[in-house]
């Protein structure tokens, strides 16, 4: 008769170590042979516990399975029991014959095979099962069980070109951030250049190469971390004068929305240097083609995006915040008729289109230029009083209140056709009549004879300005019509729901 050998001690989880099969208690030769056969055929893994092999043996003999504690993955679901006080749970975990906390159970818990935990493997398994069955107290609810008001917030990385001193960055992006936050989006703004860069640029000071390199290094770091966001909101391009492939590689698989409010593609496509045209001439087209969505400021830019292969295009105009533009008040009587222009030094040369008409107004009128940095059309000295004011966001509405009419002269070129007419929207929000060149979106904003005049040549400019100077009632009527148009279609309050829906949809 084969000698009876003591089986190997089980590990903490109740399993036997891998190796040749060991003699088991009870069952005799038939059980040992069945265990070897099952392991040889891989029906039972070599490290399977003996109770699993025993279950196979009982099934082969037609015997009912033994009742055991439920473990994760078992066929039958557990029976949920109400949580019990700790004392009752400790008593239930003791093995039979140890009720009352006898000396034998205490000794086995302290020095027995189960180790210093004070329980056998079976007791530990029972405690783990009871812990899984207890109701979770203080645990956060799953996302599916949260109320609709606590829906997931969409995280957006904004790669704007400038800070608040840059008009496009301020109007197309930064002014929307508080309203977008209320709509369920968290937008992190990361401008490429700060306001000091623009001040030096407008003043004609040369930019330091080290400063530019540091700005690009910061932008590359932001792009490498874009995977932590749901969406990238891109102002035109992320890295000016670098190929589109580099930008897409840095962004990885994060979807991005490209916003365009100028014919920026002509900056590369019509550059005078042939190498720039060869390398970057189709950069903006490539970015538009790979964007999840292109937001265009007018119909001309939207048509360009569709022709470039953009998969989705949404037209959202440049708007103003009506909270910063209170309803206009009547101008003080007795002041001279004031023609106003507000813009940046880069657009001041367009004033030459209206120079002859401004000079014809004579000494009874004046010209107020805001943000032109001293630039003014030639031939005005001694013919009309010219005043200059520096632009600031805080004084913007107060400066507009000194205008009696606003002008926006433009040349008719491919770059100018891509402009979004923000000057006209500003003037109309302030309750002012406007005179503008019939170029691009100006023909959409200005309803000739209703909220202003379109002037294509010096004679039309002179007639429009002269008529407005002589008729205060006409100025008031046209100003009110322009204000209504802005309230309906070109205000932040009217546009922000659509923009929020567009960004959330692009992030999905």
pLDDT digits (tens, 9 = 90+) for 11-48: 445 454 555 544 444 456 665 666 666 566 554 455 55
pLDDT in tens, 318-354: 999 998 998 887 776 778 999 999 998 889 999 999 9
What 3-state DSSP class applies to 6?
coil
User: CB neighbours of 483 closer than 8 A, spacing ≥ 6?
Assistant: 327, 328, 428, 429, 431
Angstrom distance (rounded) from CA 293 to CA 372: 35
Query: Taking the domains of the chain in order of start, what are their residue ranges?
Result: 151-319+494-507, 322-490
Instruction: Please state whether 373 falls in left (phi above 0), alpha (psi between -120 and 50) or beta.
Output: left
pLDDT digits (tens, 9 = 90+) for 211-236: 999 999 999 999 999 999 999 999 99
* CA 470 to each of CA 335, 367, 400: distance values in angstroms, whole numbers, following the listed order: 13, 16, 20
CATH number for the segment(s) 322-490: 3.40.50.2000
Q: What is the CA radius of gyration of the chain?
A: 39
- The residue assigned the tokens 């990385």 is 157
Q: Structure pTM?
A: 0.68
The pLDDT-based confidence of 207 (bands split at 50, 70, 90) is confident
Q: CA-to-CA distance for 337 and 142, rounded, in angstroms?
A: 66
- Here the tokens at position 416 are 């100018």
How does the average pLDDT of the chain come out, rounded?
Answer: 80
Tokens at 114, concatenated: 């189960």
Q: What is the mean pLDDT of residues 304-319?
A: 96
Question: Does CATH number 3.40.50.2000 belong to domain 151-319+494-507?
Answer: yes
DSSP state, residue 144? G
Interval 370-405: pLDDT, tens: 998 778 888 787 789 999 999 998 999 999 999 999
């Amino acid at each position: 008769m084969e000698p009876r050998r003591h089986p190997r001690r089980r590990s903490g989880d109740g399993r036997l170590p891998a190796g040749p099969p060991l003699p088991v208690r009870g069952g005799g030769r038939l059980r040992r042979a069945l265990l070897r056969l099952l392991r040889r055929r891989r029906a039972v893994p070599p490290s399977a516990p003996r109770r699993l092999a025993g279950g196979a043996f009982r099934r082969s003999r037609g015997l009912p399975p033994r009742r055991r504690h439920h473990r994760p993955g078992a066929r039958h679901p557990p029976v949920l029991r109400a949580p019990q006080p700790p004392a009752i749970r400790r008593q239930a975990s003791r093995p039979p014959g140890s009720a009352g906390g006898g000396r034998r159970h205490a000794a086995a818990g302290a020095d027995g095979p189960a180790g210093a935990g004070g329980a056998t493997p079976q007791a530990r398994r029972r405690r783990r099962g009871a812990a899984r069955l207890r109701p979770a107290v203080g645990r956060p609810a799953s996302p599916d069980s949260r109320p609709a008001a606590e829906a997931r917030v969409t995280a957006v990385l904004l790669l704007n070109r400038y800070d608040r001193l840059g008009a496009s960055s301020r109007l197309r992006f930064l002014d929307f951030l508080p309203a977008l936050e209320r709509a369920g989006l968290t937008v992190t703004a990361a401008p490429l250049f700060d306001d000091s860069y623009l001040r030096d640029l407008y003043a004609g000071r040369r930019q330091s190469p080290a400063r530019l390199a540091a700005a690009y290094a910061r932008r590359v770091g932001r792009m490498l971390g874009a995977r932590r966001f749901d969406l990238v909101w891109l102002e035109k391009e992320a890295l000016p004068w670098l190929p589109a492939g580099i930008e897409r590689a840095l962004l990885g698989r994060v979807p991005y929305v490209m916003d365009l409010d100028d014919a920026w593609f002509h900056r590369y496509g019509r550059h005078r240097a042939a190498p720039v045209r060869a390398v970057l001439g189709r950069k903006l087209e490539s970015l538009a083609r790979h964007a999840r969505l292109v937001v265009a400021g007018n119909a001309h830019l939207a048509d360009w995006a569709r022709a470039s292969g953009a998969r989705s295009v949404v037209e959202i105009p440049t708007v103003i915040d009506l909270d910063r533009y209170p309803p206009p008040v009547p101008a003080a009587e007795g002041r001279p008729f004031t023609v106003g222009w507000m813009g940046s030094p880069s657009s001041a040369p367009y004033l030459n289109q209206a120079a002859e008409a401004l000079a014809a107004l004579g000494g009874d009128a004046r010209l107020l230029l805001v943000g032109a940095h001293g630039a003014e059309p030639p031939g005005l000295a001694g013919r009309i009083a010219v005043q200059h004011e520096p632009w600031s966001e805080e004084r913007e509405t107060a400066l507009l209140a000194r205008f009696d009419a606003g002008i926006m002269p433009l040349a008719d070129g491919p770059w100018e056709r891509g402009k979004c007419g923000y000057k006209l929207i500003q003037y109309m929000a302030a309750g002012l009549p406007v005179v503008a060149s019939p170029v691009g979106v100006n023909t959409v904003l200005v309803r000739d004879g209703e909220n202003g005049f379109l002037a294509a040549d010096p004679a039309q400019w002179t007639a429009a300005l002269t008529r407005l100077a002589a008729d205060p009632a006409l100025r008031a009527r046209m100003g009110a019509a322009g204000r209504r148009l802005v309230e309906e279609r070109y205000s932040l309050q009217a546009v922000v729901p659509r923009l929020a829906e567009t960004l959330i949809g692009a992030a999905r």
